[in-house]
Amino acid sequence: MLNRRRRETGFTLIELMIVVAIIGILAAIAIPAFINYVKRSKTSEAPANLKALFTGASSLYNSGTASMDLIARGAGTANSTRCVINGTATTANVPSDQKSVIDWSMAASAPQFAALNWQVSDPIYYLYEAVPAGGTAVAGTAVACSNMNAISTSVYTLRATGNLDADTVSSIFELNVGVDEGNALYRNAEIFAQDALE
């Protein structure tokens, strides 16, 4: 008799329904949090690459030539020549929720990004641009060297555009770059982000 009772014990239907409800509530909380965590991990690519682009742009800018005369403090001067790229974008890849690899041997933007010492070999989610002051690229050579402008003149907008959830809204990260009082490039302290998890 005792053995029969042990075999007949088990979970009731109500107990099973309570367990299923608890699992459903936990899943409703955990799944969106996990999806946002994955998106945040994907967005870490954009600020890191924008900072690398700025480092390359600063190095290229400072590789210009200067005359023997002392450069005046407080303004860009005619005795100082600085180099910039004419603007470019990684047009080989389209922002999507899937990573893409840029074939730098085929990319028209390769010389400009090479001048900035930035050509990623890893797959990327974002489309990267170096937009010159004025918003449009200048036709001609990849790199132009000339006398640069005075303090606080905008030189570039470095931009990463992505679409991590493959909808109609894109995420944008921007880093604005200008000339400081020592005739060197400086950047905003923070990277502007719009719809970062889109």
pLDDT tens string, the chain, 198 residues long: the values are: 555 555 667 788 999 999 999 999 999 999 989 988 888 888 889 999 999 999 999 888 887 655 555 555 555 445 557 788 878 887 656 677 788 888 888 888 888 888 888 888 888 889 898 888 766 555 556 777 776 655 667 888 899 998 888 888 889 999 999 888 777 888 988 999 998 877
Q: Give, in order, the Cα–Cα distances in Å from 53 to each of 3, 72, 95.
A: 75, 28, 18
Neighbours of 104 (CB within 10 A): 16
What is the Cα 33 distance to its own chain's centre?
A: 23
The b-or-e profile of 179-193 (16+ CB within 10 A means b, else e) is: beeebebbbeeebee
Residue 45: CB partners within 8 Å, gap ≥ 6?
124, 125, 126, 160
* pLDDT at residue 143, as a whole number: 79
* pLDDT at residue 192, as a whole number: 92
CA max distance for the chain = 108
* pLDDT at residue 4, as a whole number: 58
What pTM did the predictor assign? 0.76
